[in-house]
Structure 1
């Protein structure tokens, strides 16, 4: 079983959002990595890296690790987890309140409701996640590593219904796919009271998947 974890944060957040998860996983013997997003390139407006740059940077980081890591991502990070798994990167993935791949205008508008006016610089990244080929996932990929999708009952950014729909798409594959819905939680269920249950549920699921391999 892999003992390495790569955490991928959401737009507008920082690696610090994973600090509690890192401590909890590290206490259980995991080597944890929560890198910052790469610096935006000269053609990335607003100082926000494009989706392709984010995917490539996290793929490159994962390949430097001594073993394929467990990938854990939130929001846009959850989308990146799914793309990386589809590309054959990672021992397994946990996508928490993930942005919907190819979500179109519905997904884009939902995410824009979750950010302040000052954060509208992220709109280009959200458009890419909603419409671009960089966000493409082959949902019928039978060779994908196990995936757990986690949603929150009171998420007003990426609703539970959207995550459930993503789960149904992944069920086109025979690859292991699971779905969890946490009642009474918001989009920031990784950092709000009760985050321990989210962290522990993911860890337990991964250990179960590893025991089956």
Structure 2
């Protein structure tokens, strides 16, 4: 039986942005799926036309949603998450709902303290209005270029924006921002779990939204667990690394790492 792989997108990207990855993982012998978050419409166009169902879903809602999907699979999956999807993947792995996880430029979990200025600027479209906590917020092409496409050409960034960008719920960002002041934060991950499967953290050295300092601080959160936790760096890549022209390098690096874990 092929091992299931569940791809988990982050904010501002539609689940269909994983399509090239799904194809590559299927060719490698896995059984991949790329479901949306709760409320996500089936298409980018529909998400832009009707963003209301996307709004007001928090981290716990998304974790519960994916846990229910995992429960219907024939076996525990490998999780591959990008940005907030990387945080969700870590939470699910910590709950022993997966055999392994790859967290790519993952949003900060509770306990991570660095808050680089570029990350604040990238998320300003949400935080500039407290009311956005309960809304779905869109980026402009210019905002997308700063948050995602700063390491690629403006033309490529604009093309990716047109193809994949959708409104995103503001609630997860507000929850993550308050995580270190909330003992019961939904951004808390069981980083001390000794029995969980292996975890790979991937980081882009030019990422504005989740700078390398955040990923390195995340790695330190796992220091009390002997379970496999690896870090892989791509110095010239930014937050678009899963969807831009260099996506295949990231995908194949993840596949190589999974192979080394006998997965």
Task: Please confirm whether the aligned pair reaches a TM-score higher than 0.5, indicating the same fold.
Answer: yes
Q: What TM-score comes out, normalization by structure 1 length?
A: 0.88
Structure 2 unaligned regions, length at least 5? 41-51, 126-136, 140-167
Name the structure, 1 or 2, with higher relative contact order (CA <8 Å, separation 6+).
2
Q: 2:248 aligns with which of 185, 196, 205?
A: 196
What is the distance in 2 between the residues matched to 1:137 and 1:210?
25
User: Per the alignment, in what secondary structure is the counterpart of residue 155 of structure 1?
Assistant: coil
Map 1:26-105 to 2 at 5 A. 26-39=26-39, 47-102=55-110
What is the distance in 2 between the residues matched to 1:95 and 1:203?
13
Contact 1:108-1:126 within 8 A present in 2 as well? no
User: 1:119 aligns to what?
Assistant: 138
Q: 1:175 aligns with which of 219, 227, 234?
A: 227
Q: Decide whether aligned partners of structure 1 residues 106 and 202 sit closer, same or farther in structure 2, where only a CA change above 3 A counts.
A: same
User: 2:176 aligns to what?
Assistant: 129
User: Per the alignment, in what secondary structure is the counterpart of residue 57 of structure 2?
Assistant: coil
User: 2:3 aligns to what?
Assistant: 3
Q: Decide whether aligned partners of structure 1 residues 176 and 196 sit closer, same or farther in structure 2, where only a CA change above 3 A counts.
A: same
Q: Decide whether aligned partners of structure 1 residues 112 and 18 sit closer, same or farther in structure 2, where only a CA change above 3 A counts.
A: farther
Q: Decide whether aligned partners of structure 1 residues 143 and 203 sit closer, same or farther in structure 2, where only a CA change above 3 A counts.
A: same
Contact 2:175-2:187 within 8 A present in 1 as well? yes
Structure 1 residue 103, shift from structure 2 partner:
5.8
Structure 1 unaligned regions, length at least 5? none
User: Per the alignment, in what secondary structure is the counterpart of residue 7 of structure 2?
Assistant: strand
- Superposition CA RMSD, Å: 2.5
What is the distance in 2 between the residues matched to 1:203 and 1:15?
20
Q: What TM-score comes out, normalization by structure 2 length?
A: 0.72
